[in-house]
Each structure stands twice: as C-alpha cells, then as structure tokens.
Amino acid sequence: MAKTTKGGKTMNPTDAYRKELRKRELKRNKKERKKVREVGILKKDPETLKDQIQKLEAMKADGALDKARKHKKRQLEDTLNLVIKKRKEYENKLKEKGEAPVMFSHLGPVQRRTTAEEEERVKHPRPEDSVYYHPTLNPSGAPPPGKPPMFKSSIALLDEASGKGILGPARQSNKK
C-alpha cells in the first residue's frame, strides 16, 4: 500500500523511502545520545556534588540564597540522586555479567614525569613517542611531508607504560 501525506495525497515511493531512512537515523541518534548522557552521569563524582550542595546550604543559612541559587541547589540534588541511582544500576548490571564495575571519578590524579625526564625525551625522542608512529607503516615515526614533528604527551605515555591507560579497554586493545 502506498504511503500518504498528512493532506491525504499519495507520496512518491522515493520520498517515502527517504522519510523512512530519516526516521531510522533519528531513532539511532536518540539511542546514541542516551548512551552518551548515561556515561556522562556515571563519570560525575557524587562527592563533589555533595560538596557543592553543602556550600549552597551554608549560603541558605546565611540568607544569601536567591532564586537562581535555589534552582541550582535543586538541580544538584536531582543530579546527585540520578548519579547514585545510575551507579547502582550500572554496578548491578555488571555484577549480573560477572564483571567488576569501573567508576571514572575514583581514578587518581594523572601523574606527570619529572622535568629531567621531559628534557631527556625532548633531546632524544624515540620513534614510538611520535604521533605518526606505526609499527609496520611508519616505524621511524617520521611526519608526512609538510607536517611538523609531533609527539605524544607525557601523560599518555606514562599511562601506556604503566598499563593503566585512561583511554579505556576498547581503545587500548586497538593500539596493540
């Protein structure tokens, strides 16, 4: 049966197909946005949210809480409740799968190299430190013509060396 428009006219089959593709694309984008939002919520640290709420409560005791700050406090409380709820769901979901949950806010501060190590690396760069390095395609790490030599940051190198990596397991497995 042919598709019709709102006015009751018959729609061109090509237009109907494009409309169906657009519908599917919007549905897929909606799912992707939902996943990104969930990951963002999981990354939030409940302790910092609690600290911010406590600061606003202290302001409330002083009487310096205007309408905008009251709204901000309510938003923070809602976000905190959502973060706690989503984390519990995430942990339960991973426990069912038999995996250990990974919370991003519990990662310690990133360690930097000492300045002596940095200077040594600048004076004598290794090919593996080049952003252009590839074990088979560019083992010397030479930049393409017209591009300046660029090297990975010391933070990323430190994380790769320690094996901890902040890129996540999917990105790390691709690098090997």
Transcribe 95-140 into DSSP letters: HHHT-----GGGSPPPP---HHHHHHHHHS--GGGBTT-BTTTBTT
Q: Are 153 and 129 in contact (CB under 8 A)?
A: no
Count of CB atoms situated within 10 Å of the CB of 172: 15
Output DSSP code: residue 11. Answer: P
> To 5 degrees, how large is the angle CA 24–CA 25–CA 26?
90
* Among candidate residues 42, 77, 104, the one where a domain is terminated: 104
* H-state helical runs in the chain: 13-43, 46-62, 67-97, 115-123, 154-162, 169-175
Q: Are residues 143 and 66 in the same domain?
A: no
Q: Are residues 86 and 20 in the same domain?
A: yes
Q: Are residues 94 and 24 in the same domain?
A: yes
Domain containing 162 equals: 108-175
Q: Are residues 158 and 96 in the same domain?
A: no
Gyration radius (Cα) of the chain, Å: 26
Q: Would you state the pLDDT for residue 175?
A: 45
Q: Is residue 119 part of a domain?
A: yes
Q: Are residues 78 and 141 in the same domain?
A: no
Q: Is residue 120 part of a domain?
A: yes
As for how many domains the chain has, the answer is 2
* Among candidate residues 60, 83, 104, the one where a domain is terminated: 104
The string of pLDDT tens digits covering residues 16-60 is: 999 999 999 999 999 999 989 888 888 888 899 999 999 888 888
Q: Are 164 and 111 in contact (CB under 8 A)?
A: no
Q: What is d(CA 162, CA 165) in angstroms, rounded to the nearest whole number?
A: 7
| Token pair listed for 148 | 């300046």
The string of pLDDT tens digits covering residues 50-99 is: 999 998 888 888 887 788 888 999 999 999 999 999 888 888 888 888 87
Q: Is residue 6 part of a domain?
A: no
Q: Are residues 140 and 98 in the same domain?
A: no
pLDDT band at residue 102 using 50, 70 and 90 as cut-offs: low
Q: Are residues 21 and 67 in the same domain?
A: yes
